[in-house]
Amino acid sequence: MSHLSPALAAALEAWLSAEAALAGRSPATIRAYRADVARFLAFQAAHAGGEAGTGVLSRLGHSEMRAYLAAERARGLSARSAARALAAVRGFLRWQSDRDGYDATPALAVRSPRYRRKLPRPLAEHEARALLDTVEARASEPWIALRDRAVATLLWGSGLRVSEALSLTGRDLPLPEVLTIRGKGGRERRVPVLPAARAAVAAYAEACPHPLTREGPLFRGARGGALNPRLVAKAVEGARHGLGLPASATPHALRHSFATHLLAAGADLRAIQELLGHASLATTEAYTGVDAARLIAVHARAHPKA
């Protein structure tokens, strides 16, 4: 952030520290926030003729914010990425205005760029089952086959993120019927663990050649260290190629499949939100679009007048 004045750089670092400590933002989120807000602050300082202090922020209005968004789009940023950057900027401006005692409403009132939210791309139930079978069949060693199936079963059966599955430790053995997971933003949620998932993890744990200590990672790599998420992606990628599935058939697609299969079975959207650990129901509502698209496709194929 050498292009920022000491005052603006200090303000940004103070906000980032607060986000990390109080809101539980992940290191990756903090890095993205730092890049987005630093670029915004550099633009506004230059836009104000090189003014170095934080006082420039108190005079931001609609025109300054629109100029910033136009510059972001001009450098090739998509509407989605610009909206994400603006969300970070708004968070910073709210925090700074509370500290300095000015009204940030004129700057915060600017409209976010509109974009079409991408729908999740889940697998059909038979595709998910085939993926689990193929992940297991393609492994190099029997215990690794059991490991890969156990991880994939947790993603599909409990809607875990890869990072959440790999954060489990030996203390979690044997898996209970309901597991407490700490997800994004440090938010805790309780997720059911299906008998098939408990059995898959138990079979892996019994076959694993490395000691599974209470404090150590549950899922291990070939040499005994923590399993790298890239190896999970690689196992799913190999199975995907073997089955002829699209590139969207990733480990995260198993989590998407968990949600859409629950929705298709009649689960309440709020319940799915809780199970997935989404902070906002709007994020979960994307799955209703997937289900509607699926119903339209089925109707087009099956209706006698189609």
The enclosing domain of 228 has a CATH number of: 1.10.443.10
Q: Is residue 113 part of a domain?
A: no
In the residue annotation, 305 being an active-site residue is answered as no
Domain that holds residue 253: 125-301
Q: In terms of domains, do 236 and 270 share one? A: yes
**The one catalytic residue among 47, 80, 252, 294:** 252
**The one catalytic residue among 33, 68, 204, 287:** 287
In tens digits, the chain (306 residues) has pLDDT values of 546 778 888 889 999 998 888 777 778 889 999 999 999 998 888 887 766 677 788 888 888 999 999 998 888 888 888 888 999 999 999 999 998 888 989 889 888 887 666 655 777 888 888 999 999 998 889 999 999 999 999 988 888 888 999 999 999 999 998 888 887 767 788 888 888 999 999 999 999 999 999 999 999 999 999 999 999 999 999 999 999 988 888 888 888 887 776 766 666 666 666 666 655 555 555 555 544 444 434 334 443 444
In the residue annotation, 210 being an active-site residue is answered as no
Q: In terms of domains, do 137 and 252 share one? A: yes
Domain count, the chain: 2
Q: In terms of domains, do 14 and 161 share one? A: no
In the residue annotation, 287 being an active-site residue is answered as yes
In the residue annotation, 234 being an active-site residue is answered as no
In the residue annotation, 34 being an active-site residue is answered as no
Q: Print the SS3 string covering the chain.
A: CCCCCHHHHHHHHHHHHHHHHHCCCCHHHHHHHHHHHHHHHHHHHHHCCCCCCCHHHHCCCHHHHHHHHHHHHHCCCCHHHHHHHHHHHHHHHHHHHHHHCCCCHHHHCCCCCCCCCCCCCCCCHHHHHHHHHHHHHCCCCHHHHHHHHHHHHHHHHHCCCHHHHHCCEHHHCCCCCEEEEECHHHCEEEEECCHHHHHHHHHHHHHCCCCCCCCCECCECCCCCECCHHHHHHHHHHHHHHHCCCCCCCHHHHHHHHHHHHHHCCCCHHHHHHHHCCCCHHHHCHHHHHHHHHHHHHHHHHCCCC
This prediction has a pTM of 0.60
Domain boundary residue, one of 75, 108, 141: 108
In the residue annotation, 294 being an active-site residue is answered as no
**The one catalytic residue among 240, 255, 256, 261:** 255
Q: In terms of domains, do 183 and 47 share one? A: no
